[in-house]
Amino acid sequence: MALRFLPVTAAILSVLASTVTEQTVFTAPPIPATNSTQNFAPVGTLDVLSNTVFTTLLHPEFSNYGVRIKKSNFCDEGVGAYTGYIDIQARHLFFYFFESRSNPDKDDVVLWTNGGPGCSSGIGLLMELGPCRVVKAENGTVHHPESWNSNQNIFFIDQPIGVGFSYAEYGESVSTTEEAAQDIAAFVAIFFAHFTKFQGRGFHLSGESYGGRYLPVFAAAVYDQNPRLVKAGIPPINLTSVIIGNGMTDAVRMMPAWYEQQCSSATLPPVQDIQTCVQMKMRMSRCTKWLKESCQDTFDFINCAAAFAFCEEITLIPYMATGLNRYDISKSCEQTSSRLCYDEIDEIVKYLNQKDVQELLGVEVSQYNSCSEKVGIDFSLTLDMYVGSTEYIAGLLERDVRVLIYAGTYDFVCNWVGNEAWTLALEWTGHAEFSSQPLREWTVDGKRAGKTRSAKGLTFATVDAAGHMVPYDKPKESLQMVNRWIAGEPL
């Protein structure tokens, strides 16, 4: 989880108008490649890691980065479990790593990130697809049989800086996806360089919600970094696919979908009253026209922000007034302190704030929060979400990196209608073949699980009766889907 969706209020627009006139895109400074392997000795195996102290991984090609890692015996005692920090000078990103329950010496490697922007992947780990779940904090964790590490080695990362157990020593922050991508790419390179048994394995970037913006950019950074690795004598990363669940990849196309999901029978009978839907429909043409002109045809920073503020006012605010869960239109929102509509998230926060748990993990901050309001605001102020990541998706597909876009049909905020719309509109050489494919049913144990279409490495799939967090609502279907995808089998 979760796209918390901080609306672009008048106050934020005022700040934007006074401080920024155009979008700032971060570009990492070029670093000369060196023959790094001459003075580099990999750790080689996870078996040498300690249960009590961190082992530090360095590489001369990434002089500003280090990775600290230790065994943790956390969550899934039947497999190798590890925790650590990615150190970028005074910035520190926390991660968990679990080996596969099946064949850790041969299975692929998956990295998972939650969204927000600013939400911790501890939610994905302990509520959705991780090896264990937390139902009540005082009872600890319970085994999760449908964890994605059933057949894959998997990372969960608290990113960007300021999320979950990640922190900065002097208040440093990251406010664009392009900045955050450089840290992920460097981490992946260092980890694979040190733990040689993973070299050449299929590597998959996965996540949900704002991950729809993050992951295509992260994948591009990993892919584009490979020539540098080869020049430095480091084996390249075998980037195989990107897996996005209920993603916010193309925010411009999501606005009309907010109307469809609450006012039509796209999934369930309309949840909004007729009068509100009529008023919304009358204003939608202005919304879509303004978005296209200011955010797609050209990126006019101030006008794009104003367009989104208008569209949010006519679509998101009326939905929130219904009291329905924005992550599942079939339910009311549970009044939790996390404001994310699920009591389980509050229990995860309580659990990860227990001192014995924090000592086991080796974390260096004493307060865990599921989502960071500051990170969300920082990203809002750069309009990071409104840039979109569809061009990155197209670029990856042209380079034979497969992409799976899946969506639970009950989600509102990053719903299947909007995700299908942008996949059908995506401009790439496989467009005609993909868009001409009809939706077909896919099944699990002989029962319909959803609908899908696929061509030229791109797959779109729905998961019936699942909300924003598909692995939480439909764990068996979710695991079957990802296992088939990673094995290269059709859904």
Active site residues: 209, 411, 468
Q: d(Cα 439, Cα 449) in Å, to the nearest integer?
A: 13
State which H helix or E strand residue 242 sits in.
strand 239-247
- DSSP characters over 157-209: EE-STTSTT-EETT-----SHHHHHHHHHHHHHHHHHH-GGGTTS-EEEEEEE
The DSSP bridge partners found for residue 460 are: 405, 453
Residue 203 corresponds to which tokens in the numbers above? Answer: 């590597």
Q: d(Cα 143, Cα 360) in Å, to the nearest integer?
A: 18
The DSSP bridge partners found for residue 143 are: 132
Classified as helix, coil or strand, 246 is strand
Parallel/antiparallel/unpaired status of strands 239-247 and 91-98: unpaired
Nearest by Cα to 105 from 58, 52, 152: 152
Residue type, 471: P
The DSSP bridge partners found for residue 66 are: 87
Q: d(Cα 415, Cα 418) in Å, to the nearest integer?
A: 6
Q: d(Cα 240, Cα 230) in Å, to the nearest integer?
A: 17
Q: d(Cα 117, Cα 173) in Å, to the nearest integer?
A: 13
Please say whether the dihedral angle defined by the alpha carbons of residues 28, 30, 33 and 34, taken in this order, is positive or negative: negative
Q: d(Cα 475, Cα 489) in Å, to the nearest integer?
A: 19
Q: d(Cα 319, Cα 312) in Å, to the nearest integer?
A: 10
Q: Could you count the other beta carbons within 10 Å of the beta carbon of residue 357?
A: 18
Q: d(Cα 252, Cα 461) in Å, to the nearest integer?
A: 20
Q: Could you count the other beta carbons within 10 Å of the beta carbon of residue 13?
A: 15
Given a contact cutoff of 8 angstroms between Cβ atoms, the answer to whether 16 and 302 are in contact is yes
CA 228 to chain centre: 25
262 to 77, 297, 442: CA distances (angstroms): 44, 28, 25
Nearest by Cα to 42 from 162, 190, 168: 190
Given a contact cutoff of 8 angstroms between Cβ atoms, the answer to whether 449 and 409 are in contact is no
Residue type, 150: S
